[in-house]
Structures are given as structure tokens and as C-alpha cells.
Structure 1
């Protein structure tokens, strides 16, 4: 049996990430409608992930010779993907529907990632990738306008938080490639530094509503956000980025609005209009076109 090539493995890891992120949209919206605050959900995510991965990250914390990443890289990854991203995302789901999160977090990811890749990696998108991005942006715009038609502007704070989450994750993705890190090392660094930085601040200063939530809500958010999203999806995303590149993976993540919106319709009862269906189709086509494109690296000019 033929062994899978690195690019083929990258596509598999990206597909797994898409599946988990689609569930993340719905589970996070459920958490946003529960008594739990965004700070609670972020804390549950961090504690559950840290407990599961403790046999791997704790020896690295106690013994500097076993650490694979410089402390500043682990801290940066943790602040972006372990603290800022979840707080923006969970905060957004308190104000806006799940389909807004699916569109604005994953749908805008290719745009922000392309900008960061151009600045940090000197990657210039090819014509095919620009075409894919244009289709994605058109689809995101169509979908968002359709969602906001007849709706109140009460979701605006949540929508802005979703954009903040997308920016944080885009920068995280490009830095993965820029620093040429290994997926498992990044996951352990994010978990350890998130625990050391965020949990003390949460315990002392941030509002909590854990006592008002059911054990079911706590278990669901802790298990999915910490066990599935962090321990699995963060690793599969980092692995896909390692094998395929930050921009290509970000473009593929544009399939999340399609899957996430369909899950929101099926599970949360949210409505899909004809205009929304057109937007989803444009996003899907853009993700397909962009994922197959190659980026060009801009060589520095000799002095």
C-alpha cells in the first residue's frame, strides 16, 4: 500500500480541523447561552487541556533541557491562541448567533492570514489564490448581509469580537510557519503558558458563574473545548500548517462557515435563506480554488 505524501497528510489534518471547528461553532454558542461567562469557558478549556496533556508539558516546565521552544515563542502562541482567541470567540457567542461566528471567524481567516503572510513570510498570493480569496470575500459579504437583513444591531459587539478572534488566529498561524515550529511542541507550549498566565488572573480578578451552571454545561464545555479543540484541533491545525503552509490552510478553513452554518440550522434551529445559500456556495468554491493554489515567495532585493 502506497504511503501518504506529506501534502496528502496535510489535507487530512486540515479536514479533521474543519470537522472539529464546525462543532466548536455550535458548542461555543451553547456555552454562550448558558450561565457560564466567556472567562469561565476559557478557564475550563485551559484546565481540561492542561490536565489531559500534563504528562508531556509538566516535565518541560520543570526541566529546561527538555523544552523544545524558546519561552517567548510559547508565550506568544499562548497569548494569541490560548487566551485572546478563545476570549474573543466566547465573548462573541454571547451576543451573536452561531452562524455569525462561523462566517466571521473562519470566513475572514484567509484574508487576515494572507496579509500577515505577505508581511512576515514574504508570500505573494498567486492569481488562482487571489481568485479564491475574492470568491470567499464575496461569499462572506453575501452571507453576512443576508444574516443582518431585518436583524437588530445588538449582535455588533459579538461580530467585532469574532473579527478579533480571526485576527489572533491568523497571526498565530503565520507565526507557526515563520518560526518553523513542530505541532506537538506548539500545543504543549500553548497549554502550559495559558495555564500559568491566564488561570491565576481568572482566579483572582475575573467574574465567574461556575456555581450557576449545571454540571452538564461544565462537562460539555470542558471536554469539547479543552479535550477536543485544544488537544486535537490545535495539533491538527498546526500539523496542517507545517505541511501545507499558513495561507493554504486558512483558505481551507473557509469551509467551516458552510459546515458550521448547516450544523447551526440542524442543531440550534437557525434559518438558512436563499441569499445565505448563495453566500455559502461562493465560500465553498473559493475555499476549493484557493486550497489548490500555490503561493509565491517574494525574494528580497540585494543591496
Structure 2
């Protein structure tokens, strides 16, 4: 195998991992919007997303012992769980109670990409090229379009929903930066987040939320959320995204969430029949253009 092939292979694998993670997140957004509409609470959806795969991944997290927790430790593990686990997910799910699907599928990944570029430059000392800076500015322009639509057609609570998605994107950007900074392998990250979701979040959910909404809804609706949230949008994208961070760097990997809006729009139309507004399409196009400059 020549040197060029050896260099290209990690880039290809990292790119495929990033695209796969984006597809999983997009499917999760659509399923979450559906779940909120049929009666799940944000906490219920977060439980389905992290508890079941957490049960499967807990042995991996404990193979180094309870104290070491997957070789990462409880301190870093708790930080990663807050940034990429149930807390981060509930921010997004609550946002879906306030704004349309297109806002969530665009604002959160766009903010993750934007904040990821900034953090990669400030924390990891990755070079911010003029093209990436321009892309970030264009992404901000696309986000402004969504904000204007919220203010004009939804009102103050629409802006609140948009800000929840922006906060969720910031959490994810910090998570991606810390993965690179701490050099945490993807599977370890997914295992620790899953284990702590079982040990910490599940008991809190039982005490403060309960299972009334989950038991009231049909088995089919619960299985849908378990499969889509738990597998396609839960542990698998965390692993894939972490791999892309390691292979490509946090700056490049942070741009993959910007693929989610397009995927989410297509999946939302096919699965739920959701037709985005003109403003959402315009905002999406601007964000995608910004993403194009970011990845140059």
C-alpha cells in the first residue's frame, strides 16, 4: 500500500463515519418530533435514546472497573454524559415542543458546526482558514433567517425553542472538542455515556418523571423510539462521530452535523409528510452554502 493510499483511507473512513452519524441524528430528530406529537415527554424520549443501549454497553464501560469507568473516570464521564447524553437530548426534544421540525434539524447541527470551529481554533489550536471563517459567517446568516421566521410567525416561545437548539448544538461542540483533547476512543465514549445514563439518569427519571406517558402509549410507538432513538440516533452516532473526530480532527468533524438539515428535511417529508416553509428552505440553503466553505 503506497503512502497516498495510506493517507486517503483514514480520510475516507472518517468521512463515512461522519455521514453515517449525520443520517442517524436526522432520523432521531424526525422520530423525536413524532414522539413529542404523540405524547412522549422529552425525558421519556431521552430515556429511550440512552437507557436500552446503555444496558448493552455497560459491561464495556465496567471492564476496567467501576472506579476507572471505561478508562475515562467518573469526572470526565459525567461531563461527557451531560454534553452528549440525556441532558443535551432533552434540550433538543423540548425545542421540538415549541418550533417546527425544520428549525431543530437545522439550528442544532449548524450551531454545533459553528461552535465546533471556534473551539477547535481556541482550544485545540487548529488553524481557522479564511474559507472556514467565511463559512461560519454564512452559517450565522442562515440562522438569522430561522430566527426571523420564529419571531414573525411563532412569537417569543419560538425564539426560545431556537435557543434551546442552539444550546444543544453548543453542548455537542464542546463534547466533540473534549473527545479530541482527551483523546477518548469513540466506543469508550458511547459506553460511558450509556452506562451513566443507566446508573444516574434512569433512577432520576423514575423518581421525578415516572412512566405514565410511556405506559400509556402503544408498544409500537415505544419500539419505534427504542430502535430509532436508542440505536440510530443514540450510541451509534456517538461512536461514529468520535471516530471521525479522531481520524479527521475536531474542526473538520464538527462540520458533519451540518449535513443533518438536508437529511432531516428528506426523512421528515418521507416519514411524516412535513413540508418546510419557504423561510426554512432559504435558511437551510444558506447554511449548506456556509458548510461548503467550512469544509474547503
TM norm. shorter chain > 0.5: yes
Superposition pairs for residues 229-248 of structure 1, below 5 Å? 229-248=233-252
Displacement of 1:207 in angstroms is: 4.9
Give distance in 2, aligned partners of 1:272 and 1:90. 19
In 2 relative to 1, CA 202–91 (structure 1 residues): closer, same or farther, beyond 3 Å?
A: same
Residue deviations 1:216-271, cap 9 Å, x none?
22111122111222221110011111111222122232121122123323433333
Give distance in 1, aligned partners of 2:67 and 2:183. 23
Of residues 257-266 and 1-10 in structure 1, the stretch that sits farther from structure 2 once superposed is 1-10
Displacement of 1:94 in angstroms is: 2.0
In 2 relative to 1, CA 71–275 (structure 1 residues): closer, same or farther, beyond 3 Å?
A: closer
Alignment of 1:251 with 2:292, yes or no, is: no
Give distance in 2, aligned partners of 1:205 and 1:182. 33
Give distance in 2, aligned partners of 1:143 and 1:200. 37
Determine the structure 2 residue equivalent to 1:180: 183
Residue deviations 1:106-133, cap 9 Å, x none?
1111222223223322334111111221
Give distance in 2, aligned partners of 1:152 and 1:103. 19
Determine the structure 2 residue equivalent to 1:301: none
In 2 relative to 1, CA 274–200 (structure 1 residues): closer, same or farther, beyond 3 Å?
A: closer
Determine the structure 2 residue equivalent to 1:110: 113
Displacement of 1:38 in angstroms is: 0.9
Displacement of 1:61 in angstroms is: 4.6
Work out the number of aligned pairs and report it: 291
Residue deviations 1:259-284, cap 9 Å, x none?
21233234333333444333322222
Match of 1:150, SS state, is: helix
Unaligned runs of 5+ in 2: none
The answer on whether the counterparts of 1:255 and 1:283 sit within 8 Å (CA) in structure 2 is: no
Unaligned runs of 5+ in 1: 293-303
Determine the structure 2 residue equivalent to 1:94: 97
Superposition pairs for residues 188-203 of structure 1, below 5 Å? 188-203=191-206
The answer on whether the counterparts of 2:102 and 2:280 sit within 8 Å (CA) in structure 1 is: no
The answer on whether the counterparts of 1:82 and 1:194 sit within 8 Å (CA) in structure 2 is: yes
Alignment of 1:222 with 2:226, yes or no, is: yes
| TM-score normalised by the chain length of structure 2 | 0.89
Alignment of 1:79 with 2:82, yes or no, is: yes
| TM-score normalised by the chain length of structure 1 | 0.87
In 2 relative to 1, CA 201–273 (structure 1 residues): closer, same or farther, beyond 3 Å?
A: closer
Alignment of 1:158 with 2:161, yes or no, is: yes
Determine the structure 1 residue equivalent to 2:35: 31
From 110, 123, 133, the equivalent of 1:130 is 133
Greater percentage in helix: 2
In 2 relative to 1, CA 58–220 (structure 1 residues): closer, same or farther, beyond 3 Å?
A: farther
In 2 relative to 1, CA 279–35 (structure 1 residues): closer, same or farther, beyond 3 Å?
A: closer
Displacement of 1:179 in angstroms is: 0.6
Displacement of 1:203 in angstroms is: 1.2
Give distance in 2, aligned partners of 1:38 and 1:273. 25
Determine the structure 2 residue equivalent to 1:264: 268
Give distance in 2, aligned partners of 1:112 and 1:128. 16
The answer on whether the counterparts of 1:6 and 1:243 sit within 8 Å (CA) in structure 2 is: yes
The answer on whether the counterparts of 1:136 and 1:254 sit within 8 Å (CA) in structure 2 is: no
In 2 relative to 1, CA 94–84 (structure 1 residues): closer, same or farther, beyond 3 Å?
A: same
Give distance in 1, aligned partners of 2:187 and 2:293. 29
The answer on whether the counterparts of 2:91 and 2:164 sit within 8 Å (CA) in structure 1 is: yes
The answer on whether the counterparts of 2:30 and 2:267 sit within 8 Å (CA) in structure 1 is: yes
In 2 relative to 1, CA 161–150 (structure 1 residues): closer, same or farther, beyond 3 Å?
A: closer
